[in-house]
Structure formats: C-alpha cells, structure tokens
Structure 1
C-alpha cells in the first residue's frame, strides 16, 4: 500500500452491522456498572495496601541499615549507645510511674475509692444483719468471702508502704486458723476451742485497745474492724445461733461446755506457737531491718509511741529486757481477755449478744469521734485560712477611703467575732457557731 493512502471504506451494509453490534455490546456492558464500582473500590484499596506495604518495607530497610551500622561500630561506642537507650527507657518508665501515682492519688480517684469503701462497709453491715436474722448458716461464708477480698488488698497496701511486718500480728494468725477450722478441720475440738477463745479474747478486745473505728469511707479502718469483730461474731453464731451446727461442725458434739483449764491451755499453746514464730522470724532474723528503720512492727511502733500507756511502760524497762517484757505482757493480756469467753459467753447466748453489742458500740463511738474531731479540725483550719485571707485583703485595701472600706463589708475583727457574736435571724437574736457552718465544707476527704 503506497504511503499516504487510506484503506478502502467497507460497504454500507457491513458498516451498519458493525454499528448495531457495537450498540448491543454497549448495552450489555452497561448492565455491569456495579461491577465497575466494586472494581474501582478494590483498586483504590489495593493501591492503599501497596502504599502501606511499601512504607513498612522502607521502615524495615531503615532498621536493617541502622542495625548494620551499629554492628560496624566499635565495642565502646556500641556500649555507649546501649547505655543511653537504657537510661532513656528508665526515664520514660519513671515518668510514667510518677504520672500513674499522681493520678492514683488525685482527688477524684481518692473520692471514688472512699465512695466504694463507704458502699462496701454499709452494705456489709446491712447484709450481715439480714443474714443473721434470716440465714445464720451463711455468716461463716460471708466471713470468708470478705477475708478473700480485704486481706490480699491489705497485704498489697502494707507491702507498698513497707508495713507488711504488721501482718505477722496475732489477729491475722488467728484469722488464718479460723479459716482452717471452718473449711478444713471442722471436726477438731481443740482447734475450735482455740479459735473461739482467741477470737473472743485478743481479737475482740483489740477493738477497745487499738481504738478501732467504724469509719465507712476509710478502707483501712473497715479492714481492721472486720479482722477484730467479724471473727467473734462468726463463732458466736456457730456456737449459739447456727441451726444444726453439729452437722456442719462436728467438733461441737464433744463441746457442750468448756472446761476452763483445758480451754486456757489449748488457746495458750496456740498463742505460744505464734509468739515463738513471731520472735524467731522478726525479732531475730529481721532485727537489722527493724533497728535500721526500714521495717516497722507492732513492738517498735508501741515502743516509739510515748503518749500511750504501753509505750511509756516499755520505755521504763531496760532495753535488754524490753522484748521479753513485751511478749510476757501480751501473754498475760491474751489470757485475761479470754476469761469472759471461757466462763460466761460460751454458755450464754444473751451474754454473747451483749458482748458483741458492746464492742461494736465502742467502734461506732470511736468512728463518731473520728468524724467530729477530724472534720472539726479541718473546718477550723479552713476558717483560719479564710480569716487570714480577709486580713490580707483588708491590709491591701488600707489606702482606700473610709466610705470605700465601709462599702466593702466587715473587716477581720468583725469576721472573727462572728463565731460567738449574736445576729438577728427572722427577728430573733441567735448565734452562729463554727459547727453550724460545717455542712458547707467539703467533707469528702479526711485528714
């Protein structure tokens, strides 16, 4: 075909057939617009996926190059880079821990913890009363469930503060023995006698001795009260109010009454085992840590408490005899506090109930004193801070005119006299005391 020539045109008939065929093909293809859309969608996502893979591949290549570069470095430079990275990691970790600690101690978190503790304490008291009246056989189960929650939480908190040596005290030792009797050895008369006497003796009297307080919003005080009051409550229920108790606790079959001498010897023997372990593990094996102040025990705490009777008494004893005097005094105290349980409480449900009401009343009284005294002192400090603020404001405005000072309101002296000066309310002469203003203060946190 010569250059520049054009091909011959097809005949008209063939051209028309081709036109019709193309139109039919276009109509058939127009039915697959959805497929085209799907194809376009997947094409775009495949493209994005390819970009991500390429980016990831570039990152791996960069890391590989850095790795090979580090391998080419000398040993000293490699160690320097490692130390720098490790220090940066420690700094980031320390910053993160500081931030978490600050968040945990923030006012909002503290208020939430106190609300949870308040709810838990109030509901525990309510359910305990309901179970005692409706199903006494559930009391020992509630005792165990609460222990499984409160005791590990106390260990965590005390361990964090380096107070965990307090957990070797007699009350926790007796609590473990109580659980062993309830769930593993319910047919042991000797263990039941020891648990009953120690729970109604040293543990119950500790509510008075250690001033346990019923402060619902304070989880630590709730735990202490649980340890000391729920044990005698549980064993009182088992002894006097548990229906068919001999079937669940066969030890009671052999103990219709207590033999005083035998009961005191059994509980005293269990106590001496604890005392020996306490002396060996803490006062001998951990003496260096305790003397250095790294750890605190009940003995060191009471010895440093110069305001208490026990602290003053121990201070008057020569240092070489203080530990022996402390352990001997504890033994005498344990025996004396068990006497009411041995001679009176075991045979009388009425006196047992009165005893529980007595120690619970002491905790309620101590809790009321805590709220009044702590929040009262907090209000006094806030009131004093407000007085100082008004005094500073008055001093800064001392250059103002008498008319301006009169329009600004009362001065510090006038405000200071508000605590006892009478005012007119509704036509009657009344007085305002600081306690009447206490509902306006923020009492969500104690001091």
Structure 2
C-alpha cells in the first residue's frame, strides 16, 4: 500500500475494531472507505502484506465496469481519477486463426449504459489505489503496511488477528481480501474448487501510431483470447492468453521477438506498435471458495473467486462483493447489532455466492469453447456470435452484464449512498 497515510504495524498493542480488512488493494480499500463514509463511527483497519513500492510500481491497467465507476463516485474518488480513465465506447469480437488474412467481426457492442455513461472505463491500478488510499486515510481508516497477518483465532464475540511483527488486533469482523492465494482462507480451512487451465495471461502496454477511438477488441484465437483495451492517448493495454510454455518463452525473450509475435495477433490497423511497459505473465485457473464465510470472517474479491479473464468480470465481481457486504454491515451497525454475527455473514453469502459461481461456470465454458481449433466447434460458436449480433435486445442484456448492472445490484453500484 502506498506510503501516504500508512504506518508500520510494529509497536501497536491489541486494540478493538469493528472491521479488520486483510488486503490493501482496491477491493479492501473500497470496502473500508464505503464503511467509513456511511458509518463514521465504525472502527476500521486495513492491513497489507506488501511494501509500499509494490503498489507504486504496478504498471497494470484494468477495465472497470460502469457499476464500479458509480461506486467510486459515491465514495468521492471518481472526480479525482476520471481524467486519467479512458472510456470504452464500443467493442468488437472476432474469431480466427493466426494465419488468416482477414479477421471477420462476428459481434459488436456500442452505446452507453445511460446517455453519457460508457459501459466501462480503463484505468491504471496504481492511480485508483492512490486515490482510494488518500480518501480512506482522510475518512479515518487505520492503514497498516507492510503488515502481513500471521494467524487469527475466533471467539464468541470477536476475532483476534496476529500480525507478523507480534502485534494484535481484535475485531468483530475479519474480511479476507488478500487475493486468490488467500492465506486467511487457508487458515480458516475453507476449501475451494480449483483447476489449472494450462494457460497464462500476458499483460503489457503498447503504444501505436493511430488513435483507438475508445474501441476495445477481443480476438478469439486457438490459444485463447487476445484482448486490446484502450488507454489514454495512443496506447492500449493487452491481456494476451497463451499456453503456459509459450507465454513463458515470450515474456523471457527479447523485445524484437515479442513485438513480432505481438504484431501477428494485434495487426496493423493502429499502425506501428512498440512496447510501452514491462511484460508479465500470470497463470490462469479457476478458484471458487466452497464457502464465502467462516465464524466472524468473510471472503471478498479474489480470495472468494478467481476466474478466467475472458469475460473481464473477475475484478468487478470483487466490487459486487464489497458493495453487498458494506450494505449489510452498515444496516446492521445502524440497528446496534453485531456486525460479525453469523446472521450478517449468512446474508452476505446468500447474496453473493450463487452469482459468483454462475459467473465462474460461464467463464469456464467460454474459455473451453473458444480456446480450441476444432472446425465444428468454431462453426457453432461463430453462428452463435452472429445470432447475438442480430438481436438488439440480447445485445442490450450483454451490455448490462458487462456494465455490472445485471441481477440484484447493491446500492453502491447503482450510485446510491448507504
């Protein structure tokens, strides 16, 4: 977590809190800020195991659905970061092989969720985290970094969290927002459904000669989807899916070889390309927690679910988690009841688990359907894409899904204060 507003965990004794959040990324910070904005009397702390520079050097960018942008507006940070966010104005989907001379467009999405409100924006992660951190510190959130959690123990009325430096915190509710390899989830003995796709997602930024005009592109190739996502200026963020061995070779190789392979997939429609940031590869798999809760503990974000990026919804699922959890916790606090009770936790789980598992299944099926080169499967999926493209009502439904506005949407994601 960046340095502004943070303090080291060492030297602090055991102190009582309402909510302790393990994980200081955008999910954990958004939850903390939402709680303090709606209920200033709640005592909230956020701890992250990573050193400050880990966030400041994060070159990745993410696609934030319109619902998430409404959340940021309600939390008071959207005005600060909007100037650095690139609206996604439309999107095209193709399905082809690398050797194909022409990539036919089978599906297009365009139009706003509401007039003047794009269905998504692209923004660098470090920009969002910096804004959330400053707002959280101003709101009175206790920020600890680096402060890895070593262990915790649960009693009838509280949970005691022990940090690596020997200090402790007591809280009524512990929230694990510490990523897909969540240590807290393991400590709570929460089992997962998990498998590896044998793929890696290569993430990097490229500069190009011609403007993208806010268009996002998703090219389905035999090795997996290749997504081009617009950034401010003549730049784009890439999420490039490859078989794991090939991804490792590309990331470890020289820039010339990487750019040649990149151009084969990207094409020349935006002119000459050049790398404009580091390249990294992340293993792709499916991880779904069998339970989102344990006594006095809730999982949120990637700690509860890690899905394939083919739909671009993994990040936005995390915001749905914290918006739902914040709404339930604030309502409970205003009634003077226990924010860490099993009744509260069960309400959270019933709201979020089915939606998450459904999205996990959808992304798994899509990845298996599109990450192959079978001629029959290719013909079937292309017909399906063409049908969707010709049905305005169905396309509008998909835009609502991409914008994060489908299903039982928490108030914060509708742009309503708690």
Q: TM-score, normalised by structure 1?
A: 0.24
For CA contacts below 8 A with separation 6 or more, give which structure has more relative contact order: 2
Q: TM-score, normalised by structure 2?
A: 0.25
* Structure with greater strand percent: 2
The higher radius of gyration belongs to 1
* Structure with greater helix percent: 1
